[in-house]
Amino acid sequence: MTDAITWVGLDAHKQFINVAMRMAGSTEFLEWKVANEPRAVKRLAKKLVREAKGSEVRCCYEAGPCGYALQRQMMEAAPLVVEVIAPALIPRKPGDRVKTDRRDARKLCELLQAGLLTEVRAPTEEDEALRDLSRCREDLTQDLMRARHRLGKLLLRRNIRYSGTKAWTRKHRDWLRSLSLENAALKAVFDDYLLAVTQIEERINTVDAQIETAATQDAHREPIAWLRCFRGIDMVTAFGIYSELYDFRRFESPRKLMGYLGITPSEHSSSGKPNRGAITKTGNGHGRRLLVEAAQHYRHRPSVGMKLRKRREDQPGGVVAIAEKAQHRLHRRYHRLVLRGVASNKAKVAVARELAGFIWAAMNHQHLGDAA
């Protein structure tokens, strides 16, 4: 019975939390503001339970930069339910042009009571730590690209050109170290840029070692090994996909996973006329990027090299069969799209969408086998 529930909307920010509370059986709001710090949050949770006078308390706040700490602190302090809501799926009125923290808290409370909000599945602290480790490596690769570009553009402005075919190979690095720059200021800048590249590469190697250690833990070893059975998915990519999704059973079907990753086409159809556009790009952008990168490998002719064969050793036959089927089907899919005139990048995204379906099947192969 929703009449026996006390509803609470929380508009959470770094410094403060605006609270809008609607008591069970009432249409009026109780509103106040508290500091967003652990002791005040625990007092807030106890106050909400006390004010509810025995009724169930259900709270919600938008997912954002404050993360899941607020949810954990409140649920540890008192017996209540705290939901983290997907901001992109909150209903919005086109004509509503006034936005304040107080209004946002009220709106969350009303929509939560009406059942119009979509809850985000909160990861455990361990799952969140794994995700942060994967994203740390992603940030470092972006920093490395920027550092290399700075050095390359410095040399280009001075018309210092490398005669080789590919940059950042061993020969290219030897060439960089052999450069003799007479201007002291220019040499100082060059040395600093080159040092930045070297340091970031060392940091990436350190994070890679930490990923290898985390991936060998008992709780994560099996699903990561299954992901590595797919072509184009080795340790770093498998760890990234696993840490972003962390529980594949929460997706009821492959379409749910595709929608979560934002690789399904957008659509605006009316009067029986279908009108589909670009992919939605909603949901988890990190997982989407990893899948699109992996999908690029399927443009090559299907084969099982020595590294892939080694990754598949001692893995379940069902997972290997799904991965092998994916390799052949996605290769055909990519080239059929390209022959039809579809741009290469669009074809890769289409392949990534189907790859998500194969991954879902592989990660749920035990459950699917039991159902069969």
Q: Read off the pLDDT of residues 199-209 as tens digits, 9 standing for 90 and up.
A: 999 999 999 99
The CA–CA distances, whole Å, from 236 to 60, 75, 105, 248, 319 equal: 34, 34, 40, 18, 19
In this prediction, residues 326-342 reach a mean pLDDT of 97
Location of structure tokens 């992901």? 227
Long-range contacts from 127-131, C-beta under 8 angstroms, 24+ separation:
127/243, 127/246, 127/247, 128/67, 128/68, 130/214, 130/220, 130/239, 130/242, 130/243, 130/246, 131/243, 131/244, 131/246
* Structure confidence at residue 69 as a pLDDT band (50, 70, 90): very high
Mean pLDDT computed over every residue of the chain? 94
Q: Quickly state the pLDDT bin for 249 (edges 50, 70, 90).
A: confident
Residue 271 has pLDDT above 80, yes or no: no
pLDDT digits (tens, 9 = 90+) for 38-57: 999 999 999 999 999 989 99
Q: Percent of the chain at pLDDT above 90?
A: 86
pLDDT at 166 over 70: yes
Mean pLDDT of 292-318: 96
CB atoms within 10 A of CB 347: 21
Give the model's pLDDT for residue 368: 62
Task: Lowest mean pLDDT of 274-278, 317-321, 348-352, name the range.
Answer: 274-278
Q: For residues 293 and 197, what is the distance between their CA atoms, to the nearest angstrom?
A: 23
Which has the closest alpha carbon to 63: 88, 46, 40? 88
Per-range mean pLDDT, top range of 22-26, 271-275, 320-324: 320-324
- Give the pLDDT band of residue 3 (cuts 50, 70, 90): low
Res. 83: pLDDT tops 80: yes
Q: What is the pLDDT of residue 372?
A: 45
Tally of helices (H runs) and strands (E runs) in the chain:
14, 7
Whether 1 has a pLDDT exceeding 80, the answer reads no
| Per-residue pLDDT tens over the stretch 308-324 | 999 999 999 999 999 99
For the stretch 138-154, pLDDT in tens is 999 999 999 999 999 99
**What's the pLDDT score for residue 267?**
85
As beta bridge partners, residue 30 has 21
Rounded CA separation 126/91 (Å): 32
SS3 at position 54: coil
pLDDT band at 370 (very low <50, low <70, confident <90, very high): low
Task: Specify the pLDDT at position 369.
Answer: 57
**Cα–Cα dist 266/253, whole Å:** 19
Q: For each of the domains in the chain, give its residue range(s) and CATH number, in order of start.
A: 2-114 (3.30.420.40), 126-215 (no CATH), 218-371 (no CATH)
State how far the Cα of 224 lies from the Cα of 227, in Å rounded to an integer.
5
Give mean pLDDT, residues 276-302. 94
> Taking a C-beta distance cutoff of 8 angstroms, is the pair 77, 46 a contact?
yes
pLDDT(187) > 50: yes
